[in-house]
Amino acid sequence: MSQIPKIPRRIVTGIKNGRSVITDDAIATNVSEHFPGLIISDIWATSQMPADLSTEIIVENTAFPVVPANGSYFRYVSIPPDKDLGIKPLEAGQVHPLMHKTATLDYIIILSGEIYMILDEEETLLKAGDIVIQRGTNHAWSNRSDTHCIQLAVLLAAN
């Protein structure tokens, strides 16, 4: 089994007596392991745009996010190798078992490792530093390497 990365530290800023301050500095507590080794931490969400800077929404940590209408979602994901999830290489015509679709515009940054983004008709290998603009498409993530892939995603409610 590959090494599981650490849980992210979350630092939140705010205003106190008219001055900028750190209001929270701790290891993220909203962390789950929906599949063995698949670490998801939903760091922050908003329920409207423009965002209300004085409000924190408690995010229910789910495998497939539900973004509030007119809101946003900030997610840290550490995806283990497929073999650690029990996912075997796909044969022609097979659908990846984690294929899903969300009604969101997603900005995804690969921080470390590598991963295949699988779509209905094609796939591409993503490496650290790559950025994906996902526009409500059916997709899955397939980690065919021996180490975790860490990605950050900002999901925005979309029509």
Q: Quickly state the pLDDT bin for 62 (edges 50, 70, 90).
A: low
User: Is 22 contained in some domain?
Assistant: no
The mean-pLDDT minimum among 46-50, 73-77, 133-137, 154-158 falls in 46-50
Domain count, the chain: 1
Determine the Cα–Cα distance for residues 152 and 68; give it in Å rounded to an integer. 19
User: Among candidates 34, 2, 30, 33, which has minimal Cα distance to 113?
Assistant: 2
Res 2 pLDDT > 70: no
Q: Is the pLDDT of residue 33 over 80?
A: no
pLDDT at 59 (0 to 100): 72
Report the predicted TM-score, pTM, of the whole model to 2 decimal places.
Answer: 0.84
Position 16 in a domain = no
Tokens encoding 51: 């965002």
Percent pLDDT > 90 in the chain is 44
The reply to whether 2 falls in a domain is no
Q: Is 63 a domain residue?
A: yes
Whole-angstrom distance, CA of residue 142 vs CA of residue 132: 15
Domain of residue 103, CATH code: 2.60.120.10
Distance (Å, whole) CA 78 – CA 67: 20
pLDDT in the model for residue 114: 98
What is the sign of the dihedral through the CA atoms of 43, 109, 157 and 143?
Answer: negative
Q: For 92-107, how does the pLDDT look when each residue is reduced to its tens digit (9 = 90+)?
A: 888 988 899 888 999 9
Does residue 45 lie within any of the structural domains?
Answer: yes
Say if 11 falls within a structural domain.
no
Question: How far, rounded to the nearest angstrom, does the alpha carbon of residue 76 sit from its chain's CA centroid?
Answer: 5
Distance from the first to the final alpha carbon of the chain: 40
Has residue 107 been placed in a domain? yes
Containing structural domain, residue 97:
30-157
**Confidence (pLDDT) at 4:** 56
